[in-house]
Amino acid sequence: MAKKKIRTPPPPRAVQAPKRRYEPTTSGFSRRSKLIAAAIAVALAAGVTIAVAATRGGGGSGDPSTKVAAAGCTFKTNPNLGQAHV
């Protein structure tokens, strides 16, 4: 009978999955930094808008009777009857 040959293991198989092409950004900011900066800018713009709207007010100052009389309408103020609310 012939002598048995020693069998070498097969070479590793090549991975058949798609290759990932990851290129790190070298030109400044990463995507995450840009998103954070955009979120801060939107929050700042919203804060400024709310602050301006709050300080401008709705024009509620002044006596309503003079404004109604100037518009040609009548305005009657009833006397206080002294009723206390609980």
In this prediction the pTM is: 0.42
Task: Give the pLDDT band of residue 37 (cuts 50, 70, 90).
Answer: very high
- Hey, is 40 helix, strand or coil? helix
DSSP 8-class letter at 59: S
| Tokens 């090549």, located at residue | 14
CA distance 23 to 21: 6
- Hey, is 55 helix, strand or coil? helix
* Mean pLDDT over each residue of the chain, to the nearest integer: 83
Cα 30–chain centre separation: 20
